[in-house]
Amino acid sequence: MTIRRRLFNRFFKKGFHIEIDDALTYPSKQTICQAIEQYAAENKKQVQFVSSVQPLTFLYESRQYYVDIRMSRGGYTIFCREV
């Protein structure tokens, strides 16, 4: 039963992608933070950074997310997933 619950929680966590302007180069921490702040401003939400070391974590809509950089569609994207 516990294993089933863990798998269920793992697969149904919320997450979202943020595309980077210069997607061909690996983004720095400053670029990641700016992109997240811009995404939050576009959606009229508040963001607060908890940790600025890898993995970068932040609070968005009172939920904690961590950042994962992935290569997709010919460039890097920021993938944010709920902790």
In a domain, 8, yes or no: no
| Number of domains, the chain | 1
Distance CA 70, CA 57 (A): 16
* Residue 1 predicted with pLDDT over 50: no
Q: Which domain holds residue 53?
A: 14-82
In a domain, 41, yes or no: yes
Q: What digits encode the pLDDT tens for the residues 16-63? A: 999 888 888 999 999 999 999 999 999 999 999 999 888 899 999 889
Question: Is residue 51 one of the residues assigned to a domain?
Answer: yes
Domain presence at residue 47 = yes
43 inside domain: yes
